[in-house]
Amino acid sequence: MRIAVIGAGVVGALIARELARFEVTSIRLFEREPDVGWGVTKANSAIVHGGFHDRPGSVRSKFCVPGNSMYESLCAELDVPFQRTGAYVLAFDEQETAALETLRTWGNENGVSDLEIHSRKQVLAHEPQVNPQVKAALWSSSVAITEPWELAMAAVETAAGNGVSVHLAEAITGIETRANKVCAVLTETDRYPVDAVVNAAGLFADRIAAMVGLDVPCLYPRRGEYVLLDKKSAGVVNSVLFPAPNEITKGILVLPTIDGGVLLGPTAVDQLPDARGEAETTPEGIREVLEGARRLVPELNCSLAVKAFAGLRPESTQEDFVVGRSPIEGFYQAAAMRSPGLTAAPAISQWLVRDVIAVDLSLRQTGSFRPSRIRTPRMAELSLEERDRHIRKDPRLGRIVCYCNQVTEGEIIDAIHRGATTLDGIKFRTRAGFGRCQGASCSASILRILARELHVEPEEIVQRRSESWILSGKART
Amino acid sequence: MDSFREGANVNHKNADVVVIGGGAAGVAAGAAAAKEGARTVLIERENAPGGVLDQCIHPGFGLHRYKEELTGPEFAHRLIAEIHETDAEILSSHYVLGIDPIKRVVSTVGPDGIVETHAKSVILATGARERPFSALMIPGPRPAGIFAAGLAQKFVNIHGVLPGRRAIVLGSGDIGLIMARRLHLEGVEVVAVVEMKAFPGGLMRNVVQCLEDFGIPLFLRRTVVAIHGEDRLEGVTLADVDEAGRPIRGTEERIDVDTLVVSVGLIPETELISSFVELEPINGGPPVNSRMQTPAPWLFAAGNNVAVFDLVDWVAVAGERAGRFAAQYARGDLTARVPIRLIRGENVLHMVPSSLDRETITTLFLRVPRPLLNVEVVIGGVSCHRQLGARPSEMIEIPISAKLLSGLSQASEARVEVREG
């Protein structure tokens, strides 16, 4: 059996890893970007949702709660940060208070067992910075935060460690079918015969589906803008704060990030279906984020903003995931993964692989699957004694390169060995350049380390894609 | 100062004075403390002291301290020679993880492991970092090609590589001006330096020597309002701004450049102490007295982490002062003085120190918020200093002599004003 997974975002990565548990001749994971997790995975709120925001009966509701419950052990297995912060949905008037009841009912129907309505006093006791105008709030203890791109990279690393071949910067240009059955995937340079294809192509899943003639709901990007605050603002909120949701979105949130900052956003602005390039921030969007966030936490110090950024998430007219078999034999989908796609991803990948693909293709589990990856731990998260022990074995783990996030040369070299070739590749693997100076202090050093380890000139190192050059050449000597 | 291992199973050291940071302030402080006889350890995160001076290869340093014009590396070299004449220990490639204010332990990490240094007094000389462009939250995509000016300087002067071919410089502080010239000399086409304020942020001599001498235009009251380009920067949109700094509609102009060099301010590095010292809100660093002592009496501070200075000469002077008094404190020789708290009056932005005492001769540094003519500095009602004009880019330095101090009234506060006309 030969299987191709299209898309190395968090969904495709987890599917590839799950497939690696089975005896398959070849599993290939294709990604159009030069690195893992650079699409929808990179720019979302990084929340593992509780399952009360999704209308009962939807596919979303079916996978969100099981996905949430899988996260803790999955993240432990993959050495990915995960923290159950809990979440409040805040109501500021009668109508919003009534909306909390709807969410609670939805949650209960979806199998969420931890929901409580808290009084103003309870909310303020737990979250003293919340707008004192709050009337009531829905509390969910199961909501958590994580690092989505780290999860995608960890899943790809374990998949690769179990024999999956990872094809980065190799976009699928066509899919061949014969007698209503997939038989090969095409890229610009190659043709790969396959018995099955899994479409996890994120923002581009409809285009992949169209390659086999499937008329799936057209995806259109929904732009979300965010503002990230410096770690100095840590502690201003302890849990994820949602406003009462409207028909379209969960609204603008205030939440702690897994590395100690505070994230505000997102907006939700629908784009034309063709606007699938890099997302841009806008003056209106940034304003909306700050206003929306201050509505929940009036005393937010927005002068601590480190950056604003934007991401695109795939929305479809039916507002639900498209997962499972398709009318084309051997063509499976995990598409239209809008929120809560991140939360649902582990449950969807497990179900799709174990209960659908393995059954259809009569796959047998291997006895040799290794579920974890080998990675140098983040030095900044260890005790001084543990760090000292690591440094005695490898002095490079004592050389700090990124001063803001205390990332060492040893961790950067480890990231390069795990596949990073670009500045962003280092940033998303190690958090170097992710801090308050945004790489002003460390970029030059990281570039030098990348060039040295990859045996190229510093001018050949790029930020992201091949066109995103950083240096134009040598200075005069 | 032998390292020994104890309970926590990491390296331990003892010192009288620990200096954090090996730039101009730190090296001057370390040399001064050691000369006073203090067992001194200077901690530097790079692999040698020198700080940002190493990448400032242009001249203009040392006119006050050495009475000659030096480049940054030359200035650093002289200072480092001074500390090498003492028995101060330099712990390079060590990054300070934290200061325990109760035990007075400075924890560092380096290639030889964790070191905990037990100190009697500590000098913070961590300098300042550049404010990143992303913090301005300018709308648009996030292509490669946007560089903090200091990063661009490091690329060109230390690594010998160029950040692009056609550039705009945002911000007319000294780093922005110096980098405009540097890039021009390297063959990069520098289209303009753009400044939001109505006056340049850097020294007048740098406006002349870096821009006018090379025909690089300076656009005042103008800023970058949008970024273009998906992978690499392709252009920026500039617009005029009103008095409040808001872009004026209809004045937008797109300029195609592949490089944006950003010099939009320096932020004092104070993260190590901000949990136990309340920072001075305008300076951005800890308040210090005439002896560069912070409200935590064992902690001294000097340099750009106290307030951003325009001349390294003054930074070195402040460092020496901090080193001397920190050594005296470590010996137990520093008796407390009754402070005269300085209150910011008219036309005072940055002000160092924040208090004076009647026994210590020092220098008061003031930065004005806007260009002024015929200025008179008045402290506690006493006229102390006059000069023809004052600009925000150049601090006013006022020698605080014994005579001046004896002339101040017995009040516990004194208002500092810069009067015009």
Instruction: Name which of A232, A305, A388 is nearest B135 (Cβ-Cβ).
Output: A305
Per the structure, the complete domain to which residue A70 belongs is given by 1-84+145-218+317-375
Paired tokens of A14:
């987890």
ipTM for the predicted complex comes to 0.94
User: Does this chain's domain B1-129+266-336 share its CATH topology with B132-264?
Assistant: yes
Residue A132 belongs to some domain of the structure = yes
Residue A469 belongs to some domain of the structure = no
**Domain shared by A168 and A74, yes or no:** yes
**Domain shared by A164 and A72, yes or no:** yes
pLDDT of residue B409: 79
pLDDT of residue A477: 66
pTM: 0.94
For an interface test with B, which of A399, A409, A450 has the most B Cβ atoms less than 10 Å from its Cβ? Answer: A399
How far, in Å, CA of B176 to CA of B206, rounded?
A: 10
Residue A466 belongs to some domain of the structure = no
**Domain shared by A275 and A343, yes or no:** no
Per-residue pLDDT for B4 more than 70?
Answer: no
For B310, residues 6+ apart whose C-beta sits below 8 A from its C-beta are B174, B203, B393, B394, B395
**Domain shared by A68 and A150, yes or no:** yes
Type and span of the H or E element at B42: strand B40-43
Looking at the DSSP assignment, which residues form a beta bridge with residue B43? B20, B91
B317-327 burial: b if 16+ Cβ within 10 Å, else e = bbbbbbbbbbb
**Domain shared by A69 and A162, yes or no:** yes
pLDDT of residue A293: 97
The confidence band for B121, taking pLDDT boundaries of 50, 70 and 90, is very high
CB spacing of A398 vs B132 below 8 angstroms:
no
Per-residue pLDDT for B7 more than 50?
Answer: no
Is the domain spanning B1-129+266-336 CATH 3.40.50.1220? The answer is no
**Domain shared by A28 and A137, yes or no:** no
Q: Domain of A424: which CATH number?
A: 1.10.10
Q: Domain of A120: which CATH number?
A: 3.30.9.10
User: What average pLDDT does the segment B363-385 reach?
Assistant: 95
**Domain shared by A243 and A127, yes or no:** yes
Residue A245 belongs to some domain of the structure = yes
pLDDT of residue B8: 54
Annotate A410-459 with DSSP letters as a single string.
HHHHHHHHTT--SHHHHHHHH-TT-STTTTTTTHHHHHHHHHHHHTS-GG
Is A282 at the interface with chain B, CB within 8 A? Answer: yes
Per-residue pLDDT for A301 more than 50?
Answer: yes
Phi, psi of A49 (to 5 degrees): -75, 160
Give the type of residue at B10: V
CB atoms within 10 A of CB A334: 31
pLDDT of residue B410: 84
**Domain shared by A404 and A270, yes or no:** no
Annotate A253-266 with DSSP letters as a single string.
EEEE-TTS-EEEE-
Domain count, chain A: 3
**Domain shared by A72 and A207, yes or no:** yes
pLDDT of residue B1: 38
Q: Are B33 and B19 in contact (CB under 8 A)?
A: yes
Per-residue pLDDT for B5 more than 60?
Answer: no
Residue A328 belongs to some domain of the structure = yes
How far, in Å, CA of A421 to CA of B276, rounded?
A: 41
**A312-347 pLDDT tens trace:** 999 988 889 999 999 999 999 999 999 999 999 999
Annotate B308-355 with DSSP letters as a single string.
--S-HHHHHHHHHHHHHHHHHHHHT------EEEEEE-TT--SEE-SE
Is A474 at the interface with chain B, CB within 8 A? Answer: yes
Phi, psi of A238 (to 5 degrees): -100, -25
**Domain shared by A450 and A306, yes or no:** no
**Domain shared by A294 and A413, yes or no:** no
Residue A465 belongs to some domain of the structure = no
A vs B, Cβ pairs < 8 A, gives: 154
User: What average pLDDT does the segment A268-289 reach?
Assistant: 90
Q: Which chain A residues are within 8 Å of B107, Cβ to Cβ?
A: 384
- Domain limits, chain B: 1-129+266-336, 132-264, 338-421
How far, in Å, CA of A290 to CA of A298, rounded?
A: 10
Strands (E) in A253-388, as ranges, are 253-256, 262-265, 269-270, 305-316, 322-324, 331-335
**A41-83 pLDDT tens trace:** 998 999 999 999 999 999 999 999 999 999 999 999 999 999 9
CB spacing of A471 vs B163 below 8 angstroms:
yes
Instruction: Name which of B45, B95, B164 is nearest A472 (Cβ-Cβ).
Output: B164
Q: Are B153 and B55 in contact (CB under 8 A)?
A: yes
Which residues of A does the annotation mark as catalytic?
49
Per-residue pLDDT for B3 more than 70?
Answer: no
Is the domain spanning B132-264 CATH 3.50.50.60? The answer is yes
**Domain shared by A292 and A350, yes or no:** no
Between A82 and A274, residue with greater pLDDT: A82
CB spacing of B132 vs A436 below 8 angstroms:
yes
Paired tokens of A21:
């548990």
Per-residue pLDDT for B363 more than 90?
Answer: yes
